[in-house]
Amino acid sequence: MTTVSLTLHGEPEDVDPEARRLRAELLDLDVDSAEFATGEAPTGSKGVDPGAVSTIIVALSTSPVLVQLGRVLRDWVTRDDRRKIEVRDGKRSITLTNTTAADNQAAIEAFFRRDPQD
């Protein structure tokens, strides 16, 4: 099973609804799960950690779903020029912004291509 962390960046009031929309798109894929990261609320606060709503942990079992995930991320980030997302797989990470879809596709393919020694 592969687990990928997706962290959205931007203004807190924008990130929460954007993260929820992206999660809904991810749940349409055949992922095993797409859950918001749980975070501790700061001491004395009355709400959740804003970072918990901006990070989605995606678990998937098959390579075809990884390809679908890459396409969804590419399409999602290019639909709005303010969108920025960090994709983390273990110690490796990549940041996608609103560059061309072809540039994002090449970056995503290179990122998800695994080194046989990993």
pLDDT tens sequence across 13-30: 889 899 999 999 999 999
- Do 73 and 36 meet the contact criterion of CB atoms below 8 Å apart? no
CA 21, 23, 27, 33: dihedral to nearest 10 degrees? Answer: -170
pLDDT digits (tens, 9 = 90+) for 56-76: 999 998 888 888 998 899 899
CATH, range 2-42+50-112: 3.30.70
The SS3 assignment for 14 reads helix
